[in-house]
Amino acid sequence: SQQGEEDPQALSIQEGENATMNCSYKTSINNLQWYRQNSGRGLVHLILIRSNEREKHSGRLRVTLDTSKKSSSLLITASRAADTASYFCATDNSDYKLSFGAGTTVTVRA
């Protein structure tokens, strides 16, 4: 079973717009991570946010974490065609595994 649920399942935006996706999880976590996957290939690590952090930035990415609501959001600003991919949140409970959400498929239109 998956720990995280992501919303929306799919997102289509124009190049230059922002994309926001949300992730909710069920149990307490050590940290939450976001990954990107291009067309059935391997996963690329984007950002990690610890349970005691509320917000983190990396380039055009902004991640928030609300442990009281057990939710996180990923914002991609000024999207580009190359951002077209599936995005997954994954929770780490310090048990040597990641529990992934179902993912959000983002399509950036030129």
Binding of residue 24 to another protein (CB under 8 A): no
> Look-up: residue for tokens 């600003």?
77
Minimum distance of another protein from residue 75's CB (angstroms): 21
> How far is it, in rounded angstroms, from Cα 99 to Cα 76?
22
CB-nearer residue toward another protein: 8 or 16: 8
Binding of residue 2 to another protein (CB under 8 A): yes
> Look-up: residue for tokens 């190359």?
82
Q: Which stretch binds another protein (CB under 8 A): 10-18, 38-46, 57-65, 73-81?
A: 38-46
Residue positions counted in the chain: 110
The torsion angles phi and psi of 65, rounded to 5 degrees, stand at: -140, 130
Radius of gyration of the chain (CA): 13
Footprint of another protein on 40-99 (CB under 8 A): 40-45, 48, 50, 88, 90, 92, 94-99
